[in-house]
Amino acid sequence: MFRKLYLLYGAMVLSTAAFGQYRGWSLDTVNQLRNVPKSVRDNPGSYRSVYSGYHHYTGGK
Amino acid sequence: MSQTVANCPNCGAKIVFRWSSSVQTVCEYCKSILVRSDVDLKKVGQVADLPPDSSPIQINTEGQYGNKAFVVVGRILYEYDQGGWNEWHIMMNDGASAWLSDAQSEYALSSSLKASDLPAAAAVQVGQQFTWNNQRYTVSVVTPAHYRGVEGELPFQYWDKTKVTFVDLRTASRKFATLDYSDPEPALYLGEFVEFDDLKLKNLRSFEGW
Amino acid sequence: MSVGTPPPSGPSQVQPRALNCPKCGAAITLHSFGQAVTVVCASCRSILDAQDPNLAILQQFEAATHDVKPLIPLGTRGKLRGTDYEVTGFQRRSTQIDGITYDWHEYVLFNPYKGIRYLSEYHGHWNDISICKTLPTADFSGANYLGETYKHFQSADANTDFVLGEFPWQVRVGEKAAVSDYVHPPRVLSSEKLDKEVTWSIGEYMYGREIWDSFKLSGEPPEALGVYENQPSPVTINVTGMWVAFAAFAVLLLALMAVFDMRAKKEPVLQETYQFNGADLKSEPSFVSDEFALDGGTSTVQVKTSAPVDNHWIYVNYALINQDTGQAWDFGREVSYYHGYDSDGSWSEGSRTDSVVIPSVPAGRYYLRIEPEVDPSLRSTPYSVTVIRDVPVFGIYGIAFLALLVPVVIISFRAYTFERSRWSESDHPPMELSSLSNSSGDDE
């Protein structure tokens, strides 16, 4: 009984992994934005990301 | 398998022999033990009242063993220290005679086998092994029993025995063997244990409350 | 039948025998008809010879402690294996192991056609037992019966402490039998030696709920405590089968990895080296890359940043922007590398290259908006940016592998602890427990 459940579960895990590869899933988290105006190409300074992308690095030894 | 009809020499009641090879029978009415010769029926003894027993099998019970049908025609009752058991004499539909034993509702079917070099009762020990018909049997228990009574048709003369020794031999399967020391010459029976349901018994005794 | 002769007194319906106890006169009925060898008079605690018409007294006993009440009252009927049985006898037996007394109950069940069976109960665990017709073979480690192998579980002496009802053998209170149990869950093979006679019986585990339903008893069955010798494992018995399935899945996963790795185009669409000049603080640090096309379907996009830093850092803010739809992916990546030498030896931290994989980027025309930041103590550095389309993501396989592994490990562990629990009560307890448990070792 457990064996059957596991076989079903394993098939689901593998299909999900295959589907993810096919659809281009990734483990990294990246913020998505919409409606970036075309003017950014000419004036890159006008682009401001919404999130804390302006994280100023404070690490290092 | 023609039935022979005769009259009881003691009380005149009608006696029916269902089995052509029957040697002995018991008159149902007067309980006389009758032995059959070519010529007539002779009374040789009397059966005391049988003890109240609870075998569900009775004379005229029908059943099946493998693909053969059988009918119960007689019995011998034995007693030992753990109680009693019945050896029912059955007639197969091909005329052969066999024994259906009922010991505390453990059922077994066996037939006699002619064999030589059977050991004397005193020589038998638990654990000893014998081989008959290419099957190995191990002695499991030696039972001193005594004869308690007879009923119906038997293939030999059997009554008023006192002490009788039986030796049970078992195997790793359902097969078993019995050495019967009722007579000076030991007799061998080979058989197997059977399940109640497999015998498809009909015309059994009824039990109050069951 | 001839006319005029009396009808034969053939066997009629079998009646239960009703008698009176020779000691105290109490009424006794033999419910197992002729199969009772001994019967107990409950009123005066005498064991009587049931085969003797006078019911000779065989033994008188005192109930050792308080009266024991059978959980299934005598006279109750229940269906087992499709046949109705009546409870006709009951006994309490006990054994002593390492100074501790364990007791259990046994019930005698009767059917006039099928004969006698037994039920045993210990701490809520039940067994449906019958006498073996064919002989098992056994040695000190195991036994064989009807083609199955049984492992030796326990050998002990069983005392009969208390009896009620009818028995198909010469029962006596105080009798001691040498009992050995061999198990092959859910079955148990038992040999019992009493006065030189050995009887083998085969039992099958039953749950209290099944017994209660079968005998239509009210209330709840006693709770099952611990793991009983032949209790079937509620976790899969086939743990090996699960590992085999896992191995098969692992192989499939590797195949999947290979297939997708081959299938991935890994097309570089942008490869540039830029220069950051820290001195140029007043001018706008952000800029855009050349346009590039992502052809094909939705896929991953890998952005690699590398810089030859040495005990410095750079941080690059990226936005991957779709020229036509205005969709953007915004992220920042750090490249830093530090190294040195201290009392423990040389050390290093970080890396000169960074990689990030952006998920599910649709096809289209794109450019990168780049805004670098550099460690103030490093005023200028070159850095290169590489964008590659359609790369495989191995982390997903890692997650899948764990997802496949975890249930098998959990189930294996549960089966393992269940079996340890089972064997901790035996003559062969698992190694580490033998110093803690009070089951004896081999000096029983």
- B21: domain CATH number is 2.20.28
Q: Do B83 and C112 touch (CB under 8 A)?
A: no
| Rg of the Cα atoms in chain B | 17
pLDDT in tens, C252-300: 999 999 999 998 889 899 999 988 887 666 777 788 888 999 998 899 9
* Chains C and A are touching, with contact defined as 3 or more CB–CB pairs separated by less than 8 Å: yes
Distance from CA of C38 to the nearest CA of A (A): 47
Question: Which pLDDT score, from 0 to 100, does residue B107 have?
Answer: 92
d(CA C149, CA C147) in angstroms, rounded, equals 7
Q: Is residue B31 part of a domain?
A: yes
pLDDT tops 80 at residue A51: no
d(CA B98, CA B111) in angstroms, rounded, equals 5
With a CB-CB cutoff of 8 Å, which residues 1-60 of chain C face chain B? 1-2, 5-6, 8-11, 13-17, 32-35, 37, 51
| Per-residue confidence band for B53, with pLDDT thresholds at 50, 70 and 90 | confident
Which stretches in chain C have pLDDT values below 50?
1-9, 438-444
Structural domain range at position B13: 4-46
Question: Encoding tokens for residue C35?
Answer: 């199969």
d(CA C70, CA B107) in angstroms, rounded, equals 30
Q: Is residue B70 part of a domain?
A: no
Query: Out of A33-47, B45-59, C353-367, which region has the weakest mean confidence (pLDDT)?
Result: A33-47
What is the share, in percent, of chain A residues with pLDDT greater than 70? 74
pLDDT in tens, B97-136: 999 999 888 899 999 988 888 888 888 888 889 998 889 9
Main-chain phi, psi angles of C411, to 5 degrees? -70, -40
Query: Over chain B, what is the mean pLDDT?
Result: 87
d(CA B41, CA B153) in angstroms, rounded, equals 13
Question: Which pLDDT score, from 0 to 100, does residue C436 have?
Answer: 53
Q: Is residue B101 part of a domain?
A: no
d(CA B110, CA B116) in angstroms, rounded, equals 18
Average pLDDT over residues B22-34: 87
d(CA A16, CA C287) in angstroms, rounded, equals 39
| Residue C341, beta-bridge partner list | C346
The structure's pTM equals 0.74
Is the CB of residue A24 less than 8 Å away from at least one CB of chain C?
A: yes
Q: Is residue B197 part of a domain?
A: no
What is the domain partition of chain A in residue ranges?
2-42
Domains of chain C listed by start with CATH number: 17-214 (no CATH), 234-264+397-444 (no CATH), 268-391 (2.60.120.380)
Q: Do C396 and A57 touch (CB under 8 A)?
A: no
User: Rounded to a whole number, what is the distance in angstroms from the first to the last CA of chain B?
Assistant: 35
DSSP for C210-244, written as a single string: HHHHHTT-SS-PPPPPS--TTPPPSS-S-HHHHHH
pLDDT in tens, C141-163: 799 998 899 999 999 999 999 99
Domain count, chain B: 1
| DSSP annotation of C33 | G
Distance from CA of C363 to the nearest CA of A (A): 12
Which of B28, B105, B204 has the CB atom closest to C8's CB atom?
B28
- What element of type H or E holds C267? strand C267-277
Q: Which chains touch A (3 or more CB pairs under 8 A)?
A: C
Count of B–C CB contacts within 8 Å? 95
Question: Which pLDDT score, from 0 to 100, does residue C1 have?
Answer: 37
- Residue from B62, B74, B72 nearest B26 by CA: B74
Question: Which pLDDT score, from 0 to 100, does residue A59 have?
Answer: 52
**Contacts with C241 (C-beta within 8 Å, 6 or more apart), sequence order:** A3
Residues on chain C touching B52 (C-beta within 8 angstroms): 14, 17, 33-34
Which of C256, C284, C315 has the CB atom closest to A44's CB atom?
C284
CB B19 within 8 A of CB B73: yes
Question: Which pLDDT score, from 0 to 100, does residue C65 have?
Answer: 56
Residue of B nearest to C198 (CA): B140
